[in-house]
């Protein structure tokens, strides 16, 4: 499974880039606004930090404007993935971009049939929002499983990018279901490191070592 950070804060990305755990980055208009910077500037910097896919989202809702914005975003760096919403115009733009060799992340997916449409439109990534599905009392992880089954049935190359990840349990279930990618805020990665038995075991080892009076090196 590939790990993408869901953020537009470059200092945060730099902090985690050196771990070797981050394969890419996803952004959206809300995250760009939160960064307080111009989209072209922040996307260019992220692409310099992370060599993997960096999703940059169009804000237009009409096809021709999506194409104009998406082509502009794709010119920022070779690893930019143009992000479009799962609407009729968005999927039409996805098909055009895919024909031009521009990678596309289709976002705001909430049903398996939407995911099927995205795959047929040539999407590089499909982003089902598991946390938001959970929020309305449904099972976000079942969405991942259904998409996985459909894609496997027909050999679609579109990668399943589990989005709206809220906690490590989402990560565990997405990995078990075979999602290709998960995108999450940095706090979720921090939580994945933690286990009380790890902390307890390390404390015991260090206590015993201190008693021995030895040093290494």
CATH of the domain at 69: 3.20.20.70
Q: Which of 39, 58, 40, 52 is nearest to 13 (CA)?
A: 52
21 inside domain: yes
pLDDT at residue 26 in the model: 98
- Choosing from 83, 103, 207, 211, which is the catalytic residue? 83
153 inside domain: yes
90 inside domain: yes
Contact 192, 166 (CB under 8 A): no
Whether the CA torsion 200, 22, 182, 188 is positive or negative: it is positive
217 inside domain: no
Domain count for the chain: 1
CA distances from 127 to 4, 10, 148, 182 (A): 12, 22, 12, 9
Structure tokens at 84: 């479009």
188 inside domain: yes
174 inside domain: yes
pLDDT at residue 108 in the model: 97
pLDDT in tens, 142-173: 999 999 999 999 999 999 999 999 999 999 99
Q: Band the pLDDT of 128: cuts 50, 70, 90.
A: very high
The CA distance from 51 to 19, in Å, is 14
Structure tokens at 101: 């060799």
Active site residue 2: no
Range of the domain at 26: 2-212
135 inside domain: yes
């Amino acid at each position: 499974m590939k790990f993408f950070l869901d953020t537009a804060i470059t200092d945060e990305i730099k902090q985690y880039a050196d771990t070797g755990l981050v394969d890419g980055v996803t952004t959206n208009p809300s995250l760009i606004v939160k960064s307080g910077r111009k989209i072209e500037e922040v996307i260019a910097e992220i692409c310099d930090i992370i060599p993997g896919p960096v999703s940059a989202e169009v804000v237009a809702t009409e096809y021709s404007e999506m194409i104009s914005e998406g082509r502009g975003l794709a010119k920022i760096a070779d690893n930019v993935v143009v992000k479009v919403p799962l609407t009729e115009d968005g999927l039409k733009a996805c098909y055009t971009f895919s024909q031009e060799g521009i990678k596309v992340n289709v976002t705001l997916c909430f049903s398996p049939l939407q995911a099927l449409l995205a795959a047929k439109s040539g999407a590089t990534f499909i982003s089902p929002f598991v946390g938001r599905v959970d929020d309305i009392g449904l099972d976000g992880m079942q969405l991942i499983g259904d998409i996985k089954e459909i894609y496997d049935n027909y050999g679609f190359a579109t990668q399943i990018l589990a989005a709206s990840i809220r906690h490590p349990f989402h990560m565990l279930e997405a990995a078990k279901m075979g999602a290709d990618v998960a995108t999450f805020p940095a706090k979720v990665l921090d939580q994945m490191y933690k286990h009380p038995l790890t902390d307890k075991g390390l404390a015991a080892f260090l206590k015993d070592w201190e008693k021995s009076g030895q040093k290494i090196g």
